[in-house]
Amino acid sequence: MGKRETGEEVVRRVGREALHFLTVAGFSGPSDVDGGLAYLGHGLKITVCHHLWIHEVGVSAFVESTAEPLPERHWLQVERLYAECGLGPPNHLPGTAANARLTEVRVRAFASALRDLLPFLLVSDRDALMHRASAR
């Protein structure tokens, strides 16, 4: 009987393939961070990670401005940006992932959302978008 993958290992394995479009778009990475992967570029840091909090196990994705942090909050959950851009409600991107299969599904869902968000994040007025999303 083989060793089961941890959630972090699943995020890294699946994320490297599912998020490859970020490197094509000019981001550097992926680099390993606690729980997952991070990509840097265009004044942004994009992180997808596995987390354990109290009794909740899940996957989260964040976009952080590295150029000028927002006054109160310099990172945003991908689901907030997704909703702010009119791509769908935040609950289209649930994070709970109690097993390896759900972790893989969540990573792929966040990768798809990030692919849809990328045109909004690579424009000159993205700071306004990030401010609007942080105010929600």
pLDDT at 102 over 60: yes
Mean pLDDT of the chain: 89
Q: Inter-axis angle of helices 100-121 and 7-18, to 10 degrees? A: 40
Q: Are 66 and 47 in contact (CB under 8 A)?
A: no
The pLDDT assigned to 69 comes to 56
pLDDT at 33 over 90: yes
Q: What is residue 37's three-state secondary structure? A: strand
Round to whole Å and give the CA distance between 117 and 100: 25
**Over the stretch 57-96, which tens digit does the pLDDT of each residue have?**
899 999 998 876 555 446 889 999 999 999 998 888 888 8
